[in-house]
Amino acid sequence: MTTTPDTPSGDLDARNEWPCPGISPHPVRVTSECRALDWDAVPQGRYRVVEHTCSCRTVFYELISCCGLYMIHRVIRNRPPEHAFTGRWTLREAREIWRQVLTGQVR
């Protein structure tokens, strides 16, 4: 069974344990038609962060560049933190998925 970090009620999203720098975007709550991405525990290799969502949330996401392709990195700030990676996209594809993650259409 896969765990879903974002509940429709937004309980996890609403938790605010870290100060909000107010610079990066905050993903909105998932929509009822939210599609599930296929998350993997490990990246394809070394990566570089291109964009990230706000670090004040319990769950935050990074758009990363990895081995010439793009992936999304999800961090659930448990103890210890849980990391998950998905995708092997071109920048164009990755930007579209990133937009859908931010707008709650995929997670």
Choices 44-52, 55-63, 78-86, 89-97; region in contact with Zn ion by CB under 5 A: 55-63
Structure token digits, residue 71: 């992936």
Least Cβ distance, residue 13 to Zn ion (angstroms): 11
Q: Is 56 in the site for Zn ion (CB under 5 A)?
A: yes
Smallest distance from the beta carbon of 17 to Zn ion, in angstroms? 11
**Contact (CB, 8 A) for 87 and 74:** no
Per-residue binding string, Zn ion, 9-28, x by CB under 5 A, is: -----------x--------
Q: Which of 12, 28, 50, 54 binds Zn ion (CB under 5 A)?
A: 54
Q: Tell me how far, at minimum, the Cβ of 63 lies from Zn ion, in Å.
A: 17
Residues of this chain that interact with Zn ion (CB under 5 A) are 20, 54, 56
